Structure 1
Amino acid sequence: MTPPGGRRHARDAGRLSASRWIIIGLAGALVAAAGIYAFASGRQTTAGRAPVVPGATAPLSSCAPTAALVPPCGAWWGMHVPPNGDRRLVPDVVAMEQRIGRKLDITISYHDMSNSDAGRFFRDDEGDLGAERILFLGWESRIWDENIGIPWRDIAAGDYDQAIADQAARVKKYGRPVLVGFDGEKDRDESGQTPAEYIAAYKRIVDGFRRAGATNALWVWGVTGYYPFRDRWKAYYPGDAYVDWISYDPYNFAACRGAAWQDFAETVRPTYEWFQQNGFAGKPLILAEYGTESHRSDTAARADWYRDIPEAMKTMPNLKAIIQWNNTDADDCDFSLTGPGVLESFAEVGKNPYFRQPMARQATG
């Protein structure tokens, strides 16, 4: 959620250089109609044996994720893990998981529309990361190394059909369900492009994947979540047939931008309620990014902010996945899990039964 004048914390910071690709840890699971392997708390179970789900209050059959990866009994837990100096993803994610005492169930990485490593899906060890976590692939209408924006109208006109077909073929070959988003936070676009052009480009991409048989792609449509922009959102919506999940990016900016301190519920709820009341209640919601800056005077407030999450989440049952942004944005707003007791609080909340849902992964091959 970026107020006017704010730079795109998750989009501009580090995307134009291949050495600073952004990786986000999140929570998630993979499900399918056949060849399912059950996992619980990051451990694979043996064939025919139901996984033990710590704290579960309902049988696995009722809590297992849907075909759209929606967890019926709680929400997925995740976090952005910034890469540490190279493009390998697995070591940094695993190191963070060891620190917080649980596996992150999904990760997200961002790609441009070039035919380079920056653009191609499943770069580096991205596929390895997806072996035990769901992958969320964010695709952006840019060429980062050249700092070029690709007009939505060109995508809609078919100029990038080959790029779409190539990405779709990779996703189909990958085999497991993946989340794919196109140009999240488009509601803050200042290039003069129109919502109609965005919708046409979005549909061209989705239709291209479907024609190629990449039906394992699940589509995420996202906005900033910045509440004063709410009158813009509907104009960009491509329709229920093209959307599996809806995402937004709420932040408690606090000291960084001179804003009033807000707890987790105050930060997240206004946009959540807007979606519930304006025709989107049938879609699961995901916080593709979220976090809090520090409090000006209360050193314990940051840890308490995270500690309040479970009870707040239970009052927003259609919010099915949340991704903490463990990084500093392009304006030097610091949302990292630093400060007295902050990482410990985050780790504690991640072990709450609400965020310990059974996971299932579709076999490939």
Structure 2
Amino acid sequence: MTGIWVFGAGILASCGLLAYSMAAIRPDRDTAADRPPVTAANIPGGAPGCAATAKLIPSCGAWWGVAPDVFGGLPPAEALAAAEERMGRKADIVHVYHRGGDAFPTPAERRLARTRLLLVNWKPSLRHTWAEIAAGAVDRRVDRLAASIRRHLQGRFFLTVHHEPENDVRPRPGSGMTADDYAAMYRHVVLRLRAQGVKNAVTVMTYMGAPNWAAKPWFERLYPGDDVVDWIGVDPYADHRVDDFATLIDKVRPDHARWPGFYRWTQTRFPGKPIMVAEWGVFPRQDDHDFKTTFFNSVRRQIRGYPQIKALVYFDSPRAPRGDTRFDPTPAAAHAFTELARAPYFSSTPVPDH
């Protein structure tokens, strides 16, 4: 969500990603009788033979993550503990946000990284243009960050650089904020971090994924290149145009008929890369008080139809810019979300030791 600051192909093919059809699979609707009760026994410590690759791709199922209590005011560790108690399980991924010269990883993030995967979302500068960053304007900042990572983060972690760039693009030549400038900035930051000894960052290119931006003539030029991008990320939210998980991950609009939807686009554009739903949230509906409940149930039914998605990271906020995305405003929504979070699909692959 823009402006918020708080907190190999062969392997994927073996998981069935490349063979997956372009058409979205929508499993039949289940009933309460079909669903197992939510108990600790439903949360295995990993299925036999399931492990994470060097790029943190789970070989079975998908990671489960959260950005906890965004804008809620709790310190990071307390926010995470509260969110995990509410959803009935430990998160695999914890999403944290930084910008500019923020010193990170913070002490709290270092502690969290011992047992969970960090998804660090960093905008290198809000004062410099992308072109200036690509030309070295914040190299000292990048180098300080590299030193901090080498000193404090020994395990692998996810890193996304200036997420959701689409609505920041200024296509006028010379603006310093063109799509080509973004790609150059991203490349420069990642390559400089690597040159400074950061070998444990698994990089994520995170799009908004909205049809109106994807239809822009410059959209494809945002991509920095396969050598600096390990995962493809997207930040979709369930607004009035979305009915279920299928329409969340493949948003389309009649006025942008050529856009097939984000998941379908990635299958063609990046068939060998895993997808991370790096932020997702469900807004309340005044005319449908059960919407969150039915939506969470749709995710549990439909997620197996999207095998290229290897991580879901929920954006849990009482005061998100466009509405309340808390997952448990009602007992029914809380139960549906807990059932989803504790589904074996999200517990098949254990988090690697740090």
The two structures have a TM-score, normalised by structure 2, of 0.79
**1:134 equivalent among 117, 142, 155:** 117
**2:150 equivalent among 167, 172, 175:** 172
Within-5 A mapping of 1:108-187 = 108-114=95-101, 119-142=102-125, 148-173=126-151, 174-187=153-166
User: Secondary structure at 1:172's aligned position in 2?
Assistant: helix
Distance 2:112 2:159 in 1: 16
**1:203 equivalent among 174, 177, 187:** 187
Distance 1:261 1:296 in 2: 15
Q: Mean Cα displacement is larger for which, 78-87 or 291-300?
A: 78-87
Which residue pairs with 2:248 in the alignment? 267
Which residue pairs with 1:234 in the alignment? 220
Contact map agreement 1:172 1:213 (CA 8 A) in 2: yes
Which structure 1 segments of 5+ residues have no match?
1-9, 16-21, 24-42, 44-51, 143-147, 255-259
Give per-residue Cα distances to partners, 1:286-341, cap 9 Å, x unaligned. 11111222234332222010011122111110001011111155544222221351
**2:208 equivalent among 210, 217, 224:** 224
**1:253 equivalent among 224, 239, 246:** 239
Contact map agreement 1:53 1:358 (CA 8 A) in 2: no
**Structure 1 residue 283 corresponds to structure 2 residue 273:** yes
**Structure 1 residue 311 corresponds to structure 2 residue 301:** yes
> How far apart are residue 135 of structure 1 and its match?
0.6
Distance 1:73 1:169 in 2: 34
Which residue pairs with 2:26 in the alignment? none
Which residue pairs with 2:83 in the alignment? 96
Contact map agreement 2:169 2:179 (CA 8 A) in 1: no
> How far apart are residue 95 of structure 1 and its match?
2.0
User: Secondary structure at 2:276's aligned position in 1?
Assistant: strand
Q: Partner letter of residue 244 of structure 1?
A: D
User: Secondary structure at 1:202's aligned position in 2?
Assistant: helix
Residue 141 to residue 329, structure 1, CA distance change in 2 (3 Å): farther
Q: Partner letter of residue 291 of structure 1?
A: G
Contact map agreement 2:118 2:157 (CA 8 A) in 1: yes
Give per-residue Cα distances to partners, 1:155-193, cap 9 Å, x unaligned. 111121111111111112221111111111111114441
Distance 1:86 1:327 in 2: 10
Which residue pairs with 1:7 in the alignment? none
Distance 2:84 2:74 in 1: 18
Which residue pairs with 2:347 in the alignment? 356
4+ residue runs over 4 A deviation: 83-87
Give per-residue Cα distances to partners, 1:243-263, cap 9 Å, x unaligned. 011101111112xxxxx4421
The two structures have a TM-score, normalised by structure 1, of 0.77
Distance 2:321 2:351 in 1: 38
Distance 1:314 1:276 in 2: 15
User: Secondary structure at 1:137's aligned position in 2?
Assistant: strand
Q: Partner letter of residue 148 of structure 2?
A: R
User: Secondary structure at 1:67's aligned position in 2?
Assistant: coil
**2:315 equivalent among 312, 320, 325:** 325
Contact map agreement 2:203 2:231 (CA 8 A) in 1: yes
Which structure 2 segments of 5+ residues have no match?
8-39, 251-260
**Structure 1 residue 244 corresponds to structure 2 residue 223:** no
Contact map agreement 2:119 2:159 (CA 8 A) in 1: yes
Distance 2:147 2:129 in 1: 23
Contact map agreement 1:306 1:349 (CA 8 A) in 2: yes
Distance 1:229 1:281 in 2: 21
User: Secondary structure at 2:193's aligned position in 1?
Assistant: helix
Distance 1:100 1:329 in 2: 19
Contact map agreement 1:87 1:124 (CA 8 A) in 2: no
Contact map agreement 2:61 2:349 (CA 8 A) in 1: no
User: Secondary structure at 2:352's aligned position in 1?
Assistant: strand
Residue 91 to residue 329, structure 1, CA distance change in 2 (3 Å): closer
Which residue pairs with 2:15 in the alignment? none
**Structure 1 residue 54 corresponds to structure 2 residue 44:** yes
Distance 1:98 1:67 in 2: 30
> How far apart are residue 102 of structure 1 and its match?
0.7
Distance 2:283 2:262 in 1: 19
User: Secondary structure at 1:200's aligned position in 2?
Assistant: helix
Which residue pairs with 1:335 in the alignment? 325
Q: Partner letter of residue 243 of structure 2?
A: Q
> How far apart are residue 66 of structure 1 and its match?
0.8
Give per-residue Cα distances to partners, 1:63-86, cap 9 Å, x unaligned. 111111111210111222125765
Aligned residue pairs total: 302
